[in-house]
Amino acid sequence: MEELPEGCMAHILSYTTTPVEAIRFSLVSKAFRSAAEYDILWDRFVPSDLSSIIPPSSFPSSNSKKDLYFALCDRPTIIDQGKRSFQLEKRTGNKCYMLSARNLYIVWGESHQSMAQQTFDTCEYLFKAPPPGEISQYWEWTSMADSRFEEVARLYAVCWFEISGTINTRVLSPNTHYAAFLVFKMIDASGFHHAPVALSVGIIGGSSTCRHVCLDPNLEDDELDERFWGLQRPNMRSDGWLEIEMGEFFNSGLEEDELQMKVMETGSNMWKHGFFLQGIEVRPKQIKHVLKLIKYNPIHSKHVSGGEGLHNIDVEGEVGLAVLGSKGGEDANGEGTLLLALDLPQGSHQVKLYEAREGVQLQVLRVGLVEAF
């Protein structure tokens, strides 16, 4: 293949590689390294509808399609008049969005009388809702230096804690497993120990998933009752904010749906304070600890003969371990079962199975397909 012209090699690679593989190919030889710089290759990884997402005048500065791709991966681009951000996942080139707090519906965030009336009788204490157009006395808009958006929402005091947002699935990458994450901070927070917070993700008019979490990471176990035992807690992000997964979904790309994400704690009727909301991020999710049974063919491998053995497995660059013969060895056709434990995104993947013997060059046993779930 290295005898082909570089442009031809780049054209072939554009149909057979992922961004990660393109970088790996560039390490093979000088010819591949040159081919991996061609715009024709990286143009495949840059979204074809990019100009409808980001105005061309706002494209990140770049000298090539490769530079543009990595600029879109490394830094979020603010879009929609500052209400959303857009980014690419570096490993796959799939789309990521964050909805800012201004792009979300926050009950009592803009305390109009009609909104307040819905929850007037539910709280432990009475409140006086401000006239329409005035700033809420329950939430306030402020700025934080480490936020990607100009404004974040600071919770001053509410007992009805409800936040929701929607995103149309057509703006997301098709055939991709996504998760939604609440991005926030807790500063001198109080009131979140009375009841777990419910997080839900689902298609409007369709099914949804719901989970209960402990939203305040500073709470000690002895402050909580048994309803909090074993509940998910937030993780620290690289940007200094907290995040917690709200739920996941698979975007087939075949239908155009409205995905709704919701945060709620309205049952305790207790006031809460010290929550800072940056937004909700929707990004591709790696499937962790995938277990899948598939067929394999040992191809005259003495090490595999008898249906037992621990092997290395390579699925499009992700290396893990495989156990052979977990269901009783080979069948009449000389095929057996393969138990695969590997981190994979959802979809079909090429599988390469190798013998795991120290000091022996790894031997390809079979190339096939496995579907993660």
Residues 52 and 185 grouped into a single domain: no
Give the residue from 200, 210, 216, 195 showing the smallest Cα distance to 267: 195
**Domain-embedded: residue 56:** yes
Residue with tokens 């290759």: 41
Over range 140-163, report the average pLDDT: 95
**Domain-embedded: residue 342:** yes
40 membership: H or E segment, kind and range = helix 39-42
SS3 19: helix
**Terminal-residue alpha carbon distance, the chain:** 35
Residues 43 and 140 grouped into a single domain: no
Query: What confidence category does residue 4 fall into, taking pLDDT thresholds of 50, 70 and 90?
Result: low
SS3 29: coil
What is the chain's mean pLDDT, rounded?
75
What pLDDT, on the 0 to 100 scale, is given for residue 201? Answer: 97
What pLDDT, on the 0 to 100 scale, is given for residue 279? Answer: 98
Residues 134 and 45 grouped into a single domain: no
Domain boundary among 267, 285, 303: 285
What size, in residues, is the chain?
A: 373
| Predicted confidence (pLDDT) per residue in 237-246, tens digit | 999 999 999 9
Residues 130 and 181 grouped into a single domain: yes
Residues 179 and 320 grouped into a single domain: no
What pLDDT, on the 0 to 100 scale, is given for residue 17? Answer: 67
Give the residue from 250, 97, 81, 59 showing the smallest Cα distance to 151: 81
Residues 361 and 233 grouped into a single domain: no
Q: What is the CATH number of the domain that holds 308?
A: 2.60.40
What pLDDT, on the 0 to 100 scale, is given for residue 331? Answer: 41
What pLDDT, on the 0 to 100 scale, is given for residue 11? Answer: 65
Which domain range does residue 31 map to?
Answer: 6-75
**Domain-embedded: residue 89:** no
Over range 133-138, report the average pLDDT: 61
Q: Kindly state the percentage of the chain with pLDDT values over 90.
A: 47
**Domain-embedded: residue 240:** yes
Residues 170 and 317 grouped into a single domain: no
**Domain-embedded: residue 84:** no
CB neighbourhood size of 75 (10 A)? 12
Domain boundary among 14, 45, 75: 75
Residues 261 and 362 grouped into a single domain: no
CB neighbourhood size of 77 (10 A)? 18
Residues 163 and 191 grouped into a single domain: yes
Residues 145 and 169 grouped into a single domain: yes
Cβ(157)–Cβ(110) under 8 Å?
no
- Give the angle 138-211-286 at the CA atoms, nearest 5°: 110
CB neighbourhood size of 331 (10 A)? 12
**Domain-embedded: residue 16:** yes
Domain total of the chain: 3
Give the Å distances, CA to CA, from 211 to 262, 264, 265.
11, 11, 12
Residue 339 has pLDDT above 90, yes or no: no
**Domain-embedded: residue 81:** no
Residue 269 has pLDDT above 80, yes or no: yes
Q: Please give the DSSP secondary-structure letter assigned to residue 162.
A: E
Domain boundary among 24, 45, 75: 75
Radius of gyration of the chain from Cα atoms?
A: 25
Residues 36 and 48 grouped into a single domain: yes
Distance, in Å, from the CA atom of 139 to the CA atom of 283, rounded to the nearest integer, reads 27
Q: Give residue 295's Cα distance to chain centre.
A: 30
- Give the angle 301-354-309 at the CA atoms, nearest 5°: 65
Give the residue from 160, 146, 248 showing the smallest Cα distance to 203: 248
Residues 69 and 103 grouped into a single domain: no
Q: 173-209 burial by CB neighbour count: b if 16+ within 10 A, else e?
A: beebbbbbbbbbbbeebebbbbbbbbbbbbeeeeeee
**Domain-embedded: residue 222:** yes
Query: What confidence category does residue 162 fall into, taking pLDDT thresholds of 50, 70 and 90?
Result: very high
Query: What confidence category does residue 23 fall into, taking pLDDT thresholds of 50, 70 and 90?
Result: confident
